[in-house]
Structure 1
Amino acid sequence: MPGSSQRKGAIRKKRGNPTAGSGGRVRQGLEGRGPTPKAVDRTKHPAHKRAKAKERAEKRTTGRRPDRKDTDATVEWVYGRNPVVEALRAGVPVSALYVAEGTERDARLREALLIAVEHGISLLEVPRIELDRLTSHGAHQGLAVQIPPYEYAHPDDLLRIAYDANQVPLIVALDGVTDPRNLGAITRSAAAFGAQGVVVPERRTASMTASAWKTSAGAAARIPVARCTNLNRALKSYKDAGLLIVGLDMGGEIELPDLQAATDPIVLVVGSEGKGLARLVRENCDIIVSIPMTSSTESLNAGIATGVALYEISRRRGQ
């Protein structure tokens, strides 16, 4: 019947050469080509195009906002005529003074320029739109200063300073003090009452910003502020070095005037005004002291309390 190759007289046609081999072509075709690339790595895939577009957008915006995290880690900006003049008066380290083009001159601007010239601070006149960009469109009033990052000491450096000067170590450590003005006030008190320095942890504590510099009234240039990764480890290291860890807290075991160990090497640990000392920090203290107050006063500001405690220790030491 038609189409049947089995009928009588039918000839079955064969394609190709039945005697010829593949020459390895089939085996090579079956070999693997490795894992399939990710979509983002394939140049013609939409995911790759989206990734490239995002990368180009990030490059275009790099360096535009001074309030980005990486910029905050390098420089700080103080802007506005009064804040700038106050920072210059307080001796805050300034790397450059920026003045917007066409800024109206007044007594504050003239004083800022005079201080900058006297202290060798760079003066830069920039377009107003550029100063807007640098200050994130803040109310700069045509005047801003750039402050370099503070150079922190190591906690061990404070001991070295004391021993090199043949002094009994007196170090202040802060736990949870987040207001930079308190840090500035404590630094000022530490310098006034013979402490060798202040220790702050990297997290959950104020850092040496322009506000702290101004509150310290220049003391931050005379006394080092050290930064530690972990406050408890720093306290244990001081304890191993023979220092007495004295915590300052409302619920103290003894009152400050009764502290007999005031003449010993001391680390005075100060907590926040609201929460006081953290539990682990409190456990690492050898003694907890409190400042006697009238019942009508609940607590003292951390900066004031530290000043009172340092004065009493200094008085007992006969300094």
Structure 2
Amino acid sequence: MKPIPRNHEKRRFAAGSAADPNGPVWLWGQHAVEAALANTNREILRCVATENAARRVGLSQAETLDPKALDKLLPPGAVHQGLAVRVKPLEAASLDDVLARPELPRRLCVLDQISDPHNLGAIFRSAAAFGVDGLILQTRHTPAITGVAAKAAAGAIETVPEIRVVNIARAIDQLGEAGYHTVGLAGEGMETISAAVHGAGRVAFVMGAEGSGLRPAVAKACATLARIPMTPGMESLNVSNAAAIAFYEAMRQETGA
């Protein structure tokens, strides 16, 4: 992940509101806010901070509020650390456009109907940490990238591209045609994750929804199903934990770390 500048004096904030009233979202927490401010593709509609937080991160342009006023501005339970920004959503990429590039991403991940924004954010964070070049999400049945996911992602939503597709199984077929080894994570997988990614070149992981896992048509579309070895008695892992292990294993094998 690229470093985040500590001084935001030159960042200009857009005036007015977005054309679509349902479009803008609040992001909060120091990592999420600093990453949004550092992202030149992100349109900032409003920036608010407590006096202490603004001083801490060198953000003199922010609108200052007392902590209680900031609590009321954001959803209940938002752990904001004294910082929040109102932003327009980033534009998602098209898979067709990604696959048409002269140099294809080395590693991608397809998320099949992940519904928990905490898991979604955690997967973005692991993708940034372990060199996954984009997350492919369905246009329906997947939550928008809002404040909860952004806080869990700790800034990674600004650096890991979001790619949206209509049909997950078709997207997996496209990836296979483009030369990706498509690996679905499933407890019943015949291969271990280590064996599945060994010498694979470009890899696209496929993660199923919390609880239900991969849908049958999605599992069938994958080139292989792989499992993460676990001690007896433990049936499965949280999807974000499984994603982190899979991403790390692919990076480890590629780099020899």
How does the TM-score come out when normalised to structure 1?
0.60
1: CA distance between counterparts of 2:168 and 2:77?
38
Aligned match of 2:52: 110
Q: Normalized per residue, which structure has more helix?
A: 1
User: Could you say which residue in structure 2 is the equivalent of 1:77?
Assistant: 26
Q: Residues 213, 248 of structure 1: CA spacing in aligned structure 2 closer, same or farther, 3 A cutoff? A: same
- Where 1:226 maps in the other structure, the secondary structure is strand
Counterpart of 2:192 in structure 1 is 255
Q: How does 1:42-191 map to 2 (within 5 A)?
A: 71-72=21-22, 74-77=23-26, 83=28, 87-89=32-34, 91=36, 94-97=44-47, 108-112=50-54, 115=57, 117=59, 123=63, 145-159=85-99, 163-164=102-103, 169-191=106-128
AA of the residue aligned to 1:149: P
Aligned 8 A contact 1:159 1:169 in 2: no
CA distance in 1, matches of 2:179, 2:107: 12
Q: Which amino acid aligns with 1:111?
A: A
SS of residue paired to 2:110: strand
Aligned length: 228
Q: 1:202 to 1:262 in 2, by over 3 A?
A: farther
Show the 5 A alignment for 1:266-285: 266-285=203-222
Offset at residue 89 of structure 1 (A): 4.9
Q: Distance in 2 between matches of 1:220 and 1:286?
A: 28
What are the Cα deviations for residues 45-78 of structure 1, in whole angstroms up to 9, with x where unaligned?
xxxxxxxxxxxxxxxxxxxxx9xxx633x11235
Matched, 1:318 2:250: no
Q: What whole-Å deviation, never above 9, does each CA across 1:192-227 have from its counterpart, x for those lacking one?
A: 222221100011123321222222222222221111
Give the counterpart letter for 2:116 in structure 1: D
**Contact 2:127 / 2:247 at 8 angstroms: preserved in 1?**
yes
- Are 2:186 and 2:226, in contact at CA under 8 Å, matched by a contact in 1? yes
- Aligned residue identity for 2:150: W
The Cα shift of 1:288 comes to 0.2
Query: Aligned-pair RMSD on alpha carbons?
Result: 3.5
Whether 1:212 and 2:157 are equivalent positions in the alignment is no
Instruction: Report which of the two structures shows the higher radius of gyration computed on alpha carbons.
Output: 1
Aligned partners of 2:99 and 2:178 also within 8 Å: no
Aligned to 2:13: none
Query: Cα distance 1:218–1:260, how it changes in 2: closer, same or farther (>3 A)?
Result: closer
Q: 1:235 — aligned with what?
A: 172
Closer, same or farther: CA 71–114 of 1 in aligned 2, 3 Å: farther
Segments of 5+ residues of structure 1 without an aligned counterpart are 1-65, 100-107, 126-130
Deviation at 1:264, TM superposition (A): 2.4
Match of 1:17 in 2: none
What TM-score do you get using the length of structure 2 for normalisation?
Answer: 0.73
Find the aligned partners of 1:216 and 1:262 in 2 and give their Cα distance. 29
Gapped regions of structure 2 (runs ≥ 5): 1-16, 66-70
Q: CA deviation at 1:261?
A: 4.5
Amino acid at match of 1:301: N
1:264-308 deviation line (CA, Å, top 9, x unaligned)? 222110012300001110110110000000123221111110110
State yes or no: 1:297 paired with 2:234: yes
**How many Å separate the matches in 2 of 1:272 and 1:96?**
34
Distance 1:171 1:260, change over 3 A: closer
Deviation string 1:147-192 (CA, Å, 9 cap, x unpaired) is 212221112344456x53xx76211000021112212221222222
Bigger relative CO (Cα 8 Å, ≥ 6 apart)? 2
Structure 2 Cα separation of the partners of residues 266 and 289 of structure 1: 13
**3-state DSSP of counterpart to 1:259:** helix
Query: How far did residue 239 of structure 1 move?
Result: 1.7
Matched to 1:88, the amino acid is V
Q: Indicate how the Cα distance of structure 1 residues 86 and 259 shifts in structure 2: closer, same or farther if over 3 A, else same.
A: closer
Deviation at residue 313 of structure 1 after TM alignment: 1.3
Asked if the contact 1:256–1:289 (Cα under 8 Å) also holds between the matched residues in 2, the reply is yes
Q: Which moved more, 1:109-118 or 1:255-264?
A: 109-118
Mapped contact 1:246–1:286 kept (Cα < 8 A): yes
